[in-house]
Structure 1
């Protein structure tokens, strides 16, 4: 079995970031709710307790049964995780008179500590807590402090149990990666053999056993996740994988033909379905974003189910579900609040009666891309920006018509091609254009116009959970704006969205 670190989630905004840092060490890890985690098995080499928005002093705040893990594997409590262990084992946590938020200088008290090995004598760490540990049992040993917090890090005597009141997983902790390496590789003795190559090899072998000679049907979108998932299944069962690519009329300009051609070059057994008219019909007159999403989802299921029934003896549905989809679709008391209900999770209609195979459900987006490169998938697919499942329908504010889609496709193509021409595409995590439900006065030649406004949106991000607006060059924006107004009939004004997430979202609907 693959070695792994178990992360118990108390609801911290940083829990996924902890997992990312462990994975960057080529060590597999899983996130589980603090109140519903698996029994320890020999392949679980250590446990990390996450932070939390809760206070350990609150009635009903999350608790974990430490007897199930203490003494069996090394433990690292981070922020709330450190405080809850200290309190449950006889220490005291109080609301701090000197709350620490932001950078703090760590003063190492125990230079022989395995957890702090290699850290400089005054390392900078990131604090984010209002409570602080004010007293600890005799069995605890303080290994680091800050100017205002005496117990910034501790170790329990005679066992590999540690607590830290700072966040090593964030980049602001300058030597956080070293500390994580000390715990995961040094203390937990993980081998660092979980790589994209090993994942691909192991997953294909498991799919061969799981699927056998069964037939699998899969909807492809042209995106990274579905493309990599399909390639893994294709390597396992070849022509027994049947792929369906639906043109819903809401794709980017020429995307249907380009993506279909790319898939055929990859050797995938794929069928393209032109269903534009059905989707436009279902969307007619709808303005509410959720109503549009539901109409698109229903139309897609109808088309996909119809096409799937044309294939004999299909037993499996392949999906490109990735790890954040799984995490964000689980909502229990305490752990990270559900942000979205992803279309890949729990979206299979009962009447299809197919088993589901999700080869990427343990991977983050960057890991999916790494596996794709291992499989030899073209960078034209792997390097594509994320694109919303409902497509351009949620970038057209208000009702959707074929004419509006055509306008938006032209504008979007100019923007995206401009980013590529200026070598900005790879610097941006996601980009797109919104067609606004307003018109503005303009002047073209000697005539006044009253036409549409479009908003350009480009953001930088790591995983889309937070995002900053991309600071694109003024000369680039000027050129793109000029091209759009001159070349796209029906648009006479271009604006640029400079909102970050949070408080705004990346998409407008």
Structure 2
């Protein structure tokens, strides 16, 4: 377990040594990048430039939430929705999705860095990202999903030896808001890996709405380590006395300590029925809702 009293000053000192002049930080609003942002700000102050990229693959209302949460920082918001979604067109392989998103992230950051005269990127890679990428489980967009050619002189990863629960301890020691300290993990490729198969704008709209409903129903009531909705494909249903070939939504809710293993949460039948009713009732193109019981292993937490 991390000793925050020694980790924090050491991390700040390391950032000072690695960052010569200005640096940009990839800020998503999750606990990992938020901790890195605070550590980096303590280390290099106004030389830190936080950048949030709106990929079009984010949760409902995410960009507005990020804007409000980090309004006191010199935050830059880059609208790159068309670039990211267009680059995913026709891709159904999960690894290729991750690599596409990883490359687009780097290219956008490179473009912004060039305009700002910056050659250092700080990002919130944590130890499980490296284990899963290097172990061949899946390529995290910020590790195995990175392209071979990168224009940055250096990439600084202040928390790449920490597990998620350790990052949360550091966040609390840094007095970050509880909303950030306890925030659920969200995949770097975003909703692209919660759409099984090819990504389309329709599927993204469907999964974004379904995901919002699942979070509303489960986060406060059950405090899951992670919960979300995913689009699996299409199935036959009946709506308004008409046969419909509509989307199948899977609901996932797990408990975990560090994300390396996980167990599905035993949700009450009444809760599951309410989630199904809300999703199929409010999203016309959804005909089925299922609940995923699989632990990790053999399943991963995300579907892709």
- SS where residue 432 of structure 1 aligns? strand
* In structure 2, C-alpha distance between the alignment counterparts of 1:222 and 1:457, rounded to whole Å: 22
**2:86 maps to 1:247:** no
The alignment of Structure 1 onto Structure 2 pairs a total of residues equal to 303
Question: Which residue of structure 2 aligns with residue 204 of structure 1?
Answer: 12
Question: Which residue of structure 1 aligns with residue 63 of structure 2?
Answer: 256
**2:212 maps to 1:418:** no
C-alpha distance after superposition, 1:150-202 (max 9, x if no partner): xxxxxxxxxxxxxxxxxxxxxxxxxxxxxxxxxxxxxxxxxxxxx31332233
- SS where residue 119 of structure 2 aligns? strand
Closer, same or farther: CA 232–453 of 1 in aligned 2, 3 Å? same
Residue of structure 2 aligned with 1:316, choices 102, 120, 133 = 120
Closer, same or farther: CA 324–286 of 1 in aligned 2, 3 Å? closer
Q: Contact between 1:442 and 1:451, CA under 8 Å: does it hold in 2?
A: no
Residue of structure 2 aligned with 1:290, choices 95, 107, 124 = 95
Closer, same or farther: CA 316–402 of 1 in aligned 2, 3 Å? same
**2:183 maps to 1:387:** no
Closer, same or farther: CA 447–503 of 1 in aligned 2, 3 Å? same
Question: Which residue of structure 2 aligns with residue 451 of structure 1?
Answer: 246
Closer, same or farther: CA 472–258 of 1 in aligned 2, 3 Å? same
Task: Pick 1 or 2: higher relative contact order, CA cutoff 8 A, min separation 6.
Answer: 2
Give the number of the structure whose residues are more often helix, by fraction. Answer: 2
* In structure 2, C-alpha distance between the alignment counterparts of 1:216 and 1:205, rounded to whole Å: 15
RMSD of Structure 2 on Structure 1 (CA): 2.1
Counterpart mapping for 1:489-508 below 5 A: 489-508=284-303
Q: What is the CA distance between 1:276 and its match in structure 2?
A: 0.9
Q: Contact between 1:442 and 1:493, CA under 8 Å: does it hold in 2?
A: no
Counterpart mapping for 1:291-306 below 5 A: 291-306=96-111
Q: Contact between 2:27 and 2:33, CA under 8 Å: does it hold in 1?
A: yes
TM-score by length of 1: 0.56
TM-score by length of 2: 0.91
Residue of structure 1 aligned with 2:42, choices 225, 235, 242 = 235
Q: Contact between 2:8 and 2:170, CA under 8 Å: does it hold in 1?
A: yes
Closer, same or farther: CA 468–237 of 1 in aligned 2, 3 Å? same
Residue of structure 2 aligned with 1:486, choices 277, 281, 296 = 281
Listed as ranges, the gaps of 5+ residues in structure 1 are 1-22, 29-194, 331-336
C-alpha distance after superposition, 1:380-434 (max 9, x if no partner): 122111111111111111221112111111111011011135x21x2x1111111
- SS where residue 310 of structure 1 aligns? helix
Give the number of the structure whose residues are more often strand, by fraction. Answer: 1
Q: Contact between 2:140 and 2:188, CA under 8 Å: does it hold in 1?
A: no
Closer, same or farther: CA 325–293 of 1 in aligned 2, 3 Å? closer
Residue of structure 2 aligned with 1:439, choices 235, 239, 244 = 235
Counterpart mapping for 1:106-255 below 5 A: 195-211=3-19, 214-255=21-62
